[in-house]
Structure 1
Amino acid sequence: MGVLVKKRVYTCGLDAAIDVMGGKWKGLILFSLHEGPLRFGELRRSVPGISERVLILQLREMEASGLVHREVYHQVPPKVEYSLTDFGQSLNTALMPLGEWGEENMERIQAIP
């Protein structure tokens, strides 16, 4: 007996984009990987406030959705690097204007009760 997979249905492009991003951490991880590949520890330091467990879960989800590539180097000690795929880079590029808007309006947003 096969497993039924429910096809995702979106009302608009923003709905689809928010679904693949899912929460605040993925956007921050995407931003951190913008400059190039990072090892797990480097990535954790570049995303303040994220726990190791949450970072692992988010990276697994991002790898499954095709946003992030995980490269394992078979050496001693073991080395793993995370980088953006073309799909992840395109989402990061789309998020840049939103980040700029946030920077421009940060004081106003922080003042919201």
Structure 2
Amino acid sequence: MGESKDLQPKVEKSFEIIGKKWTGLIIYVLMSGPKRFSELSESMPSLSRRILTERIKELEEQGIVVRNVIPDRPIRSEYSLTQKGTELGKILGPISQWAKSWVKD
């Protein structure tokens, strides 16, 4: 593909990030705005809460998702995409369009 060898590790790392099961879907769901953990969980019923917690922590570590604590009573948290996450989410739009056309239920 003519890419420099310096870029290959970065591309490989990006595929590691979005290639983990559920990660792309979590980012896709967060593209519509901040969500509480329960909202994320309800929007992906096949995803266990344990795996959702793991993936969110991984995305936080990568700087893709941020946890915002809302100091109301009761205290609650929302998850949203960082600028880095929003930029990544933009490339998932075309993938969802491809899926709509080509992936069978």
Could you say what the CA RMSD is over the residues aligned between the two structures, in angstroms?
1.9
1:50 is aligned to 2:47: yes
1:61-72 → structure 2 map (5 Å cutoff): 61-72=58-69
Using the size of structure 1 for normalisation, the TM-score is 0.79
Aligned residues: 100
Partners of 2:9 and 2:99 lie apart in 1 by 22
Structure 2 partner of 1:11: 8
Deviations 1:54-105 (A, max 9, x none): 0001000000101101001233212100001110011110121122111111
Amino acid at match of 1:60: K
- 1:16 to partner: Cα distance: 2.9
Structure 1 residues 92, 47: closer, same or farther in 2, change over 3 A?
Answer: same
Gaps of 5+ in 1: 1-8
- 1:81 match: secondary structure: strand
Identity %: 35
Query: Max radius of gyration: which structure?
Result: 1
1:1-113 → structure 2 map (5 Å cutoff): 11=8, 14-107=11-104
Using the size of structure 2 for normalisation, the TM-score is 0.84
Q: In 2, are the aligned partners of 1:40 and 1:80 still within 8 Å (CA)?
A: yes
Structure 1 partner of 2:3: none
Deviations 1:42-65 (A, max 9, x none): 110112300010000100000010
